[in-house]
Structure 1
Amino acid sequence: MKKIGVIKTIHDYNTIIGLETTHPLVSFVDFSKVKTTTKREVEALSFGFYSIFFKEGKNCTLKYGRNNYDYQEGSLIFIAPNQVVSIEEDGLDYQPNGFALLFHTDLLLRTSLMQGIKDFSFFSYNVTEALHLSEKEKEIIVDSFRKIDYEIAHSIDKHSKQLIVANIELLLKYCLRFYDRQFITRDNITNGIVEKLNHLLYNYLESNKPQTIGTPSVSYCASVLNLSPNYFGDLIKKETGKSAQEYIHTIIIDKAKEKIVDFNNSISQISNELGFKYPHHFTRLFKQKVGITPLEFRTGS
Structure 2
Amino acid sequence: MDDLIKLDSVEKYNKLFGLETLHPMVAVIDLSKATVWPEHLKINYGVYALYLKDTKCGDITYGRQPYDYQEGTIVCFAPGQVAETEMQKDVRPAAHGILFHPDFIRGTALGQEIRKYSFFSYEAREALHLSEKERTTVMECFRNIEAELEHNIDKHSRRLITANIGLLLDYCLRFYERQFTTREVSNKDVIVRFERLLDEYFDGEAPLENGLPSVKYFADKVFLSSNYFGDLISRQTGKTVTEHIQDKLIGRAKELLLSTSQPMSEIAYGLGFQYPQHMSRMFKRIVGCTPNEFRMQGA
Q: Are 2:147 and 1:150 aligned?
A: yes
Q: Is the Cα–Cα contact under 8 Å of residues 39 and 92 in structure 1 kept in the other structure?
A: no
CA distance in 1, matches of 2:89, 2:6: 17
Deviations 1:60-97 (A, max 9, x none): 2211144321111111111001211012165798x841
Q: Which moved more, 1:118-127 or 1:14-23?
A: 118-127
CA distance in 1, matches of 2:89, 2:58: 11
**How do 1:161-176 and structure 2 match up within 5 A?**
161-176=158-173
Q: Is the Cα–Cα contact under 8 Å of residues 222 and 229 in structure 1 kept in the other structure?
A: no
What is the Cα deviation at residue 37 of structure 1?
A: 3.6
Closer/same/farther in 2, CA of residues 175 and 163 from structure 1, 3 Å limit:
same
Closer/same/farther in 2, CA of residues 70 and 143 from structure 1, 3 Å limit:
same
Q: Is the Cα–Cα contact under 8 Å of residues 28 and 97 in structure 2 kept in the other structure?
A: yes
What is the Cα deviation at residue 227 of structure 1?
A: 11
CA distance in 1, matches of 2:80, 2:192: 16
- Which residue number in structure 2 is paired with residue 59 of structure 1? 57
Gap regions ≥5 residues in structure 2: 195-299
Q: Is the Cα–Cα contact under 8 Å of residues 30 and 95 in structure 2 kept in the other structure?
A: yes
Deviations 1:207-258 (A, max 9, x none): xxxxxxxxxxxxxx5338x99669xxxxxxxxxxxxxxxxxxxxxxxxxxxx
Scaled by the length of structure 1, the TM-score of the pair is 0.59
Give the letter for the 1:222 counterpart: N
Aligned length: 196
What is the Cα deviation at residue 127 of structure 1?
A: 6.1
SS in 2 for 1:22: coil
CA distance in 2, matches of 1:92, 1:7: 25
- Which residue number in structure 2 is paired with residue 74 of structure 1? 72
**How do 1:176-195 and structure 2 match up within 5 A?**
176-184=173-181, 190=183, 193=184
Closer/same/farther in 2, CA of residues 130 and 92 from structure 1, 3 Å limit:
farther
CA distance in 2, matches of 1:89, 1:97: 11
- Which residue number in structure 2 is paired with residue 209 of structure 1? none
**How do 1:11-90 and structure 2 match up within 5 A?**
11-37=11-37, 39-40=39-40, 44-88=42-86
Closer/same/farther in 2, CA of residues 155 and 45 from structure 1, 3 Å limit:
same
Q: Are 2:133 and 1:133 aligned?
A: no
Q: Is the Cα–Cα contact under 8 Å of residues 56 and 97 in structure 1 kept in the other structure?
A: yes
Partner of residue 222 from structure 1, selected from 153, 176, 187: 187
- Which residue number in structure 2 is paired with residue 103 of structure 1? 100
CA distance in 2, matches of 1:153, 1:67: 37
CA distance in 2, matches of 1:115, 1:21: 26
Closer/same/farther in 2, CA of residues 223 and 9 from structure 1, 3 Å limit:
same
Following superposition, which runs of at least 4 residues in structure 1 exceed 6 angstroms of deviation?
none
Give the letter for the 1:15 counterpart: K
SS in 1 for 2:96: strand
Q: Is the Cα–Cα contact under 8 Å of residues 62 and 87 in structure 1 kept in the other structure?
A: yes
Q: Is the Cα–Cα contact under 8 Å of residues 57 and 88 in structure 2 kept in the other structure?
A: no
CA distance in 1, matches of 2:48, 2:37: 23
Closer/same/farther in 2, CA of residues 147 and 66 from structure 1, 3 Å limit:
same
Gap regions ≥5 residues in structure 1: 198-220, 231-301
Closer/same/farther in 2, CA of residues 61 and 39 from structure 1, 3 Å limit:
closer
Closer/same/farther in 2, CA of residues 37 and 118 from structure 1, 3 Å limit:
closer
Give the letter for the 1:223 counterpart: K
Q: Is the Cα–Cα contact under 8 Å of residues 63 and 127 in structure 1 kept in the other structure?
A: no
What is the Cα deviation at residue 24 of structure 1?
A: 0.5
Q: Is the Cα–Cα contact under 8 Å of residues 38 and 91 in structure 1 kept in the other structure?
A: no
CA distance in 2, matches of 1:39, 1:136: 32
SS in 1 for 2:120: helix
Q: Is the Cα–Cα contact under 8 Å of residues 56 and 74 in structure 1 kept in the other structure?
A: yes
